[in-house]
Structure 1
Amino acid sequence: MSGDADDWAEVMRVVAAIVGERPEYTPAVQQGLEDLLLLVRSTNRPAPSVSPGYWPTFCLTWKTEEARNLQIEVFEDRYEVYRFFDGKTDIWYEPHPGGGGLSDAFIAELPQAA
């Protein structure tokens, strides 16, 4: 369990560093990230890697087998879900205006619980 706690501590450290380097992150984008991380952690899924997006967004990726080709980008009002395949990319949006629920389809995209 300590490895899991260490993984989540690293996620929070990385997020703080990203926000510290780019003050243009809006509260809505930061809240969207917080909401998604809470969902992932509270459902016992693996901690993601977090990186800055091209816009003031956050990109989440995972190293687990079923999610190796998954990236979720956090915007102010939505999550953009990317699945990368050989020669094609599937992209779709999950609305998230803040505090709202998420679709079953979105939750099914996340890596499986440990």
Structure 2
Amino acid sequence: MSDWERVEGEVAAIVSARPDEYDAVTRENLAELLRLIKETRRPAPFLAPGYWPTFRIVWEVKGSENLEIEVFDDRYEVYRSFDGRTDIWYEHHRPGEPLSAPFLSELPDPT
């Protein structure tokens, strides 16, 4: 199984566990971000459900071990953990909107 097949399986499992809770806009925000990650040849992430009907994205690659992005219907929340503190900021986003340069710079480097 490829990394991207694993990602697809993780998404399917998350949605199927709470099928009535993940709205179409949140799922499209996730799909758009995953397409960007894949098309720009960045490492495949790992996915988990958020507390809300959201998706948590993490990486196990050098330089991004402390990065988490939570996908909502109207934003991506970016978390970076450093020595006991966490920096959090929002990238307001709806499907089809452009992403900011600061957001793109948070993503792991292409492989």
> TM (normalized to structure 2)?
0.97
Question: 2:78 & 2:90 partners in 1: Cα distance?
Answer: 6
Q: Deviations over 1:65-103 (max 9, x none)?
A: 110000000000000000001121100000112210000
Aligned counterparts, 1:17-36, within 5 A = 17-23=13-19, 24-36=21-33
Instruction: List 4+ stretches of structure 1 deviating above 2 A.
Output: none
- Alignment size in residue pairs: 110
Question: 1:56 & 1:76 partners in 2: Cα distance?
Answer: 9
- Tell me the secondary structure at the aligned position of residue 81 of structure 1: strand
Name which of 65, 72, 80 aligns with 1:68: 65
**Consecutive unaligned residues in structure 2, runs of 5 or more:** none
Question: How big is the alpha-carbon RMSD for the aligned residues of Structure 1 and Structure 2?
Answer: 0.8
One-letter amino acid matched to 1:103: S
Q: Does 1:81 align with 2:81?
A: no
Identity across aligned pairs (percent)?
54
- Tell me the secondary structure at the aligned position of residue 77 of structure 2: strand
Q: Does 1:97 align with 2:94?
A: yes
Name which of 23, 43, 52 aligns with 1:55: 52
> TM (normalized to structure 1)?
0.94
